Homo-oligomer: A and B are copies of this chain.
């Protein structure tokens, strides 16, 4: 069996237990997938590839160079998905000018005041919640604004998936242990099949990235290579979806 990124973090007993408990079965792809790209905005990528501990001084939520490496793979996925005419949904953060809607985030993080005001520290004039230009949305794509980890929580995402008659989700983005995991959880709970394109997921913590992939692969989603996801997408028939027009009506 192939080595997985989480193997090094598991204890010996853990390996046996997951197997014995029956977890980790392959769910498989669905028939009507959408691509969801979670929170790949400047807050989480920074404005340029640089070591995470440097980037984080200006962008408190930055995941550093791993974000830029992941975006290379997200780009490939976006290309395949757009070529095939599948829906693309991005999520990103939102905030009031006075920051009141941070709510519970402000209880657990002491730098939340810098989340929406990165330009003060970075002098880039970039909006931290803007999707990174490397993988910017196109007019027919859908952008979901959210306040909490899951792209489903307090948003119309589930109604959009029903509208598309989607049965499955290919997901990438950040952080693996935060907004990706929360979104996977809600998708699983709503009975969508979920596949994570592994190289398109990133996190600020190496252990959290690995173990959260492990948890999701065990219980909620398939963790597959981007290549496999692309091969699957290319195998689908065209014309599956009627996409948003993009142009003003």
A111 contacts across to B, CB distance below 8 A: 21-22
Whether A205 sits at the interface, judged by CB under 8 Å, is yes
Whether A72 sits at the interface, judged by CB under 8 Å, is no
Tell me whether B215 and A208 are in contact (CB under 8 A). yes
With both beta carbons as reference points, the residue of chain B lying nearest to A245 in the complex is identified as B98
A9 contacts across to B, CB distance below 8 A: 9, 207, 211
Tell me whether A104 and B191 are in contact (CB under 8 A). yes
A49 to B11, CA, bound (A): 21
One of B10, B165, B211 near A167 (C-beta < 8 A): B165
Tell me whether A249 and B22 are in contact (CB under 8 A). no
Complex interface residues of chain A between 198 and 249 (CB less than 8 A to chain B): 204-208, 211-212, 214-215, 218-221, 244-249
Copies of this chain present in the complex amount to: 4
Tell me whether B189 and A148 are in contact (CB under 8 A). yes
Tell me whether A215 and B177 are in contact (CB under 8 A). yes
Tell me whether B103 and A159 are in contact (CB under 8 A). yes
A160 to B191, CA, bound (A): 8
Tell me whether B98 and A23 are in contact (CB under 8 A). no
A153 to B155, CA, bound (A): 8
Number of chain A interface residues as a range: 35 or more
* A207 with B14, Cβ < 8 A, contacts A21-B109, A185-B149 known: yes
Tell me whether B108 and A13 are in contact (CB under 8 A). no
A18 to B99, CA, bound (A): 22
Q: How far is the CB of A203 from chain B (nearest CB, A)?
A: 9
Residue of A60, A108, A111, A245 contacting most chain B CB atoms (<10 Å): A108
A150 contacts across to B, CB distance below 8 A: 185, 189
A residues apposed to B, CB below 8 Å: 6, 9-11, 13-14, 16-18, 20-25, 27-28, 52-53, 56-57, 60-61, 96-101, 103-104, 107-113, 139-140, 142, 147-150, 153-163, 165, 167, 177-178, 182, 185-186, 188-193, 204-208, 211-212, 214-215, 218-221, 244-249
A–B complex contacts, Cβ < 8 Å, 7 sampled: A11-B205, A13-B52, A14-B205, A17-B56, A148-B189, A165-B167, A207-B214
